[in-house]
Amino acid sequence: MLYIRSLGNKLWEIRIQGKRGIARAIYTTVISRKLVILHVFIKKTQQTPQRAINLALKRMKEIQI
Q: What is the pLDDT of residues 20-39, one digit of tens each?
A: 788 999 999 887 788 899 99
Strand 11-18 relative to strand 34-42: parallel, antiparallel, unpaired? Answer: unpaired
Backbone angles phi, psi at 53, to 5 degrees: -65, -45
pLDDT of residue 20: 77
Q: Is pLDDT of 63 > 90? A: no
Beta sheet of 21-30, edge-to-edge order? 4-8, 11-18, 21-30, 34-42
